[in-house]
Structure 1
Amino acid sequence: MHPILLKLGPVTLYSYGFMMALAFLMCYYLLHREYRKRGEKPDFASNIVFWAAIGGIVGAKLFYILEFPSNFFINPLGMIFTGSGLVFHGGVIGGAVAVIIYLNRSQKPILANGDIIIPIMFIGQAIGRIGCFLAGCCYGKISSLPWAVQFPPGSIAAKEHFHLNLIASSAPSLPVHPTQLYEAVLNLLLFLILVKIIRPRTQKYGTTFGLYLIFAGIERFLIEFIRINPRYAFGLSSAQYTSVGIVLMGVILLVFFTKEKTKQKSKMSKS
């Protein structure tokens, strides 16, 4: 855990904010490279990343308010205008909606571009999860595994364990699953699977898009079993219910666009 990377007088560089900025820059670089290969204008990639960032932040905030309304009403302005209070799924959905609207208004084929854009999101997610690890948030349950990590005194994990009467107030947290790093590694692997194995072998527009939704939903659903989040019906967290919805969306995309393959190809030839 290293929440502050640099402090120069009144200027503080937080690791989470830095990693989020790095995630957007890396996504822009990869997306710009993909579109340059296809002869697209340079500003197209920057516009996509810009609208994805705006939609992602708005979506992440809205989902946090829906999931933790009591925290929002305690300090609504602070929750809206600070970097805290973000929900991952909300960011993905908000960013996707914003990009789809942009592509539609630009008269660009959504599925073909989605297959280019969507795998790169796994890279952004991986970098963002490293930011979570450095900030000490999004950790997992207590674990005795040899790679379990302890967060320092005063960290979110240590405070929670203290309130549960598991440790003294000045002690580090108990060893926990580094779920942030689990997700970072899984996201990198899923990126490679989509880009190196699946996308080159399919000619069906929307297949990569749909499989991203399925992979991302399953990955988060499973990770939630070792995350610390409130549980609801059937012992599942809100993120798991959202994950189920995302997987279903992916399945619907795959089924629908397999049937519409010829129609979608004709649209691509006109673009």
Structure 2
Amino acid sequence: MPTAANLLAIMPFPDIDPIAISIGPLAIHWYGLAYVAGILLGWAYARRIAANDSLWPGNRSPLSKTQLDDFIVWAALGVVLGGRLGYIFFYDLSAVLRDPVRAVEIWNGGMSFHGGLAGTTIAMIIFARRHAIPIWSLFDIVAAVVPFGLFFGRIANFINGELWGRLTDVPWAVVFPTGGPFARHPSQLYEAGLEGIVLLLVLALFVYGMRALKSPGFISGVFVCGYALSRIFVEFFREPDAQLGYLLGTSWLTMGMVLSSPMILLGLWAMLRARRQAALQL
């Protein structure tokens, strides 16, 4: 158990300005840049995957570059609207009911991955039906590139000094400006590494090494299951949202764990379904 003495001995985190670029009245925040970087890199990677016919069933890509370009706007709206509504519903509903204006104050609370996932899923379903694109293949190509956004989003969380971890005295502990005088786990970096870098590499292995896109839905299952396992693991090091705290009277159960646990079953189901469908077509 860390003591106050060794917690206070750790160097404080540099107070980085959340505004990355300021030109006159125009202020660009790190969080905004993270969204842009994640979307642009994800889009570029998705175009590369879509252009490689040999990765897909029948050696033919299910969507054109034009369709993929058009979908970017849908995806961005799904992420932003779903992410904000998800945060309100899962983490901040009582406060918004007291003060509805708080709903549009994105800087006051933030976004929810699970809400963004729901919003993007709805956008994918509508877009796929309108353009006659196989829905599971669209799910797969989006799943393969989402880790870009997760990585940059968590790095922005770290720069902003938000969503920090629990108290610790590990050598790499950080004293965040808004986290009190004690050192904490840099849980944002744990998430950036697991949900971003590791998950991206695992998905790339399945896409290029195992040609898993030929089994529509399998990559989606790997992503959903991989994200859930990563998130649940990091939740043991991450401080829960102050307005919720730990759930059910425990000292460990968080909303992130509750929302992520069903995703493991969903991911496993998607992988099994994909393999079963592929076997039937042999």
TM-score range, shorter chain: 0.7 to 0.9
Structure possessing the higher relative contact order (Cα contacts under 8 Å, 6 or more residues apart): 2
- Which among 257, 274, 279 is matched to residue 240 of structure 1? 257
**Structure with the bigger percentage of helix:** 1
Q: CA deviation at 1:30?
A: 1.3
Q: TM-score, normalised by structure 1?
A: 0.83
Cα distance in 2 for residues equivalent to 1:220 and 1:231: 16
Cα distance in 2 for residues equivalent to 1:199 and 1:32: 14
Q: Secondary structure at the match of 1:250?
A: helix
Q: How does 1:208-247 map to 2 (within 5 A)?
A: 208-229=219-240, 230-233=245-248, 235-247=252-264
Query: Once the two structures are superposed, what CA deviation does each residue of 1:101-137 show, in whole Å capped at 9, x if it has no partner?
Result: 2112211112223222212101111111111111111
Counting matched residue pairs gives 248
Q: How does 1:141-156 map to 2 (within 5 A)?
A: 141-152=166-177, 156=178
- Which among 196, 199, 224 is matched to residue 190 of structure 1? 199
Q: CA deviation at 1:47?
A: 2.2
Match of 2:270 in 1: 253
Q: How does 1:38-187 map to 2 (within 5 A)?
A: 38=53, 40-66=63-89, 67-80=91-104, 82-84=106-108, 85-152=110-177, 156-157=178-179, 161=180, 173-186=181-194, 187=196
Q: 1:56 to 1:4 in 2, by over 3 A?
A: same
* Contact 2:151/2:197 (8 A) holds in 1: yes
Cα distance in 2 for residues equivalent to 1:37 and 1:199: 10
Which has the larger displacement, 43-52 or 206-215?
A: 43-52
Match of 2:11 in 1: none
Cα distance in 1 for residues equivalent to 2:28 and 2:98: 26
Q: Secondary structure at the match of 1:65?
A: helix
Identity %: 27
Question: Does 2:26 align with 1:26?
Answer: no
Q: CA deviation at 1:34?
A: 2.1
Q: CA RMSD in A?
A: 2.2
Cα distance in 1 for residues equivalent to 2:123 and 2:275: 25
* Contact 1:28/1:49 (8 A) holds in 2: yes
Q: 1:257 to 1:42 in 2, by over 3 A?
A: closer
Which has the larger displacement, 200-209 or 211-220?
A: 200-209
* Contact 2:38/2:150 (8 A) holds in 1: yes
Q: CA deviation at 1:44?
A: 1.7
Q: 1:199 to 1:113 in 2, by over 3 A?
A: farther
* Contact 1:60/1:87 (8 A) holds in 2: yes
